[in-house]
Amino acid sequence: MDTRSALVVYSVSLERKENAAAHHTSEFQTQKLVLRRGQIFKVKVVLNRPLQPQDELKLIFSTGERLSHLVELDPMTSFRSKGWQVKITKQSGVEVTLAVISAADAMVGMYCLKVNEFKGGIFFLLFNPWCADDSVFMPSEEERAEYILNDTGYIYMGFAKQIKEKPWTFGQFEKNILKCCFFLLAHLEPSELQNPVIVSRAICTMMCAVNGGVLVGNWSGDYSNGTAPYVWTSSVPILQQHYLTKMPVCFGQCWVFSGILTTALRAVGIPARSVTNFESAHDTGKNLIVDIYLDESGKTMTHLTKDSVWNFHVWTDAWMKRHDLPQGHDGWQVLDATPQEISEGGFRTGPSPLSAIRLGKVEIKYDTKFVFTEVNGDKFIWLVKQNQGKEKNVLIAVETASIGRNISTKMVGENKRQDITSQYKFPEGSPEERKAMEKAAGKHPDEDKPSRRPVNSMLQIHVLQNSVELGYPITLTLVLKRKTATPQNVNISCSLDLQTYTGSQKTDLGIIHRTVQIQGQESEVVLSMDASSYIYKLGMVHDEVVIKGFIIAEIMETGDKVATDTTLSFLYPAFSVEVSCLQATYMTLLFLYPASSDEVSCLKARKGAELRAFVVPWLTDHCANCIPSFFHTALVCSSSRLPFLHSQQMPDTGKVNSPLFITCSFKNTLPIPLTDIRFSVESLALSNMQSWNQEKVSPGQSITFQMKCTPVRSGPKKFIVKFTSREVKEVHAEKIILITK
């Protein structure tokens, strides 16, 4: 052949801007093109001469650790290979535009393109929820926007009666996040990278440092060699640090593991949501019963109590088809990166189908029995009596509806909590729920099993309160119900501890003993303990703690006993955070507890652009669609301070490279000093987090300071302002600010 007529490729363009927009990947902070499989993308080739019918124009796509897996296409001859396709869509002189479609089950990862001998560039290929033939296809556009494209959200914490939300920045599009994800998948075979079941399980495994992955779990309360888990509000610094250092990041607990796992799954194209299970059981006996043993004063006997109930536990749901299972198990799958149980040699859980969990099909892989026990089960409370030096266990309470409550995730398209309990289980006490329990336990309805009837039909007890204002006495109002109105004397023993959310006891607060005479069928008894019992112990551990109480009541005339437990959270005192924009108007966020129903109604009426996406540290059902009852905002302008009910336009815009000022004012109203104080502001608009620290604030002391933040990226961006100290933790404020260029 005449060399003057040989076909030579001069340039190859992957048309990054156009392709990224079509593939919903424009937000990725990488110079490389990011594509989704099973979808057309354009390639523009410039040649030394017009293309002739006899020419060869070979496109070679290679991937894998050694770039050994090849797909070869030629629009002139073989336009289809391994599910990939190519065709010429436009030819103008020496310029040729090609349309390429990758296979809907193509391997995800980094690809290199060569056109003939010309190196055409590198791109990433992801799973594609927009492609009907992809195993992660999600038909709802609103759900794709939430579970793939939304880079901020909430993780729910607290306990079943007092749910709070923690703002979380997933940041799946941020610099090096995608690279980190595929680095963590480097051990998989190329063919395994086709399957979202294998990929999601591998990512779940690699979130945990025990498996050689990202994050070190720590529940000890000592975080001196790293970051305390409650300090994290974003997946981004964790995954970025691991990618840059290739070293484990210290430290995390369940919500942090869920946060980084949700980020990683969304980054590679698998729809994901962080999910919180309240009253989450860890049944070591695998018998679907949580056994709690108390002594006669109500103290937990730790040497007998091997099961545990966490106030909450957070994992991640991922959306995919399960071609490896019988029909009926597509859709949401549980994945849990928190190192709890070993599955096939590594600390990981899932993917486990919600459909199998709901029906009690615990044999369905992966790890469905373990997840089933977390959201189901009965709690048995045993009284251990001493009789002539021997212990006798007496069953005094059975709770059939206390495990797996208010299972929660962020609502699609809204900053609200969605209760998804019905996706995990049938209504408590329903025939379907009992049938699922029996199937999971491997029993038939007529088999013997422990009695699930109330042990004592003469007396019932429950506690009205679910919180205590920090610095004030602990007050418990017990409601005692009987079937008789005959006066009776009741001995009450109430044991109170400070515990972490996992039920780990940190310190004993004491025992309250009362003997009262009750009359009528319903009576109230008030128990109290002075604030000094807990206030000086709050700094003992570097975790947020709650008050856990076990109450035993005994009718003296009959010897009948009943027991219950309760959890009390702390409500924090008032703080204010002012945010000013270009020395114009600013807002003040006041953390006041509680707000009245009139104030809640006012907030509902005023919610909109100027009250959009504020922090909601404590959620209650009656105002979940607005700022909650434990949060009160006041609007302020630079020239005058206006009452809350007055109208004032909130600044909600900023500019790239123009400063925003965060002014924080704080007064310590507690009788103890607060130590290790830290205010921080974090946003995807900023290049890094800004913070301000002070070692100590004495009782009654006030502090005011200002932090300057300069946005570097445009768009509507969430700003999260956070206050922490060793004694008072988990206080947030947030606002969406539109940053323009």
* Residue positions annotated with a catalytic role: 254, 313, 336
Q: Tell me phi and psi for residue 548, to 5 degrees.
A: -110, 130
In eight-state DSSP terms, residue 344 is T
Among residues 534, 535, 514, the alpha carbon closest in space to that of 526 is found at 514
- Annotated binding residue at 428? yes
Alpha-carbon distance of 288 to 270, in angstroms, equals 32
Structural tokens at position 370? 């373990």
Sign of CA dihedral 647, 615, 632, 619: positive
Alpha-carbon distance of 169 to 239, in angstroms, equals 12
**SS3 state at 623:** helix
- Annotated binding residue at 399? no
Alpha-carbon distance of 355 to 364, in angstroms, equals 10
Structural tokens at position 93? 């002189």
Cα–Cα distances (Å) from 545 to 216, 293, 494, 602, in that order, read 21, 22, 19, 32
Among residues 155, 148, 171, 165, the alpha carbon closest in space to that of 255 is found at 155
Which helix (H) or strand (E) segment is 513 a member of?
A: strand 505-518
Structural tokens at position 70? 């090849």
- Annotated binding residue at 376? yes
Token pair 């007064």: residue: 667
- Annotated binding residue at 433? yes
E runs forming strands in 427-482: 459-463, 467-469, 474-482
Structural tokens at position 377? 């089960």
Alpha-carbon distance of 567 to 496, in angstroms, equals 10
Among residues 441, 512, 453, the alpha carbon closest in space to that of 478 is found at 512
Do 722 and 233 form a contact (C-beta atoms < 8 A)? Answer: yes
Alpha-carbon distance of 362 to 376, in angstroms, equals 12
Residue ranges of the annotated binding site for Ca(2+) are 376, 378, 428, 433
Residue ranges of the annotated binding site are 376, 378, 428, 433
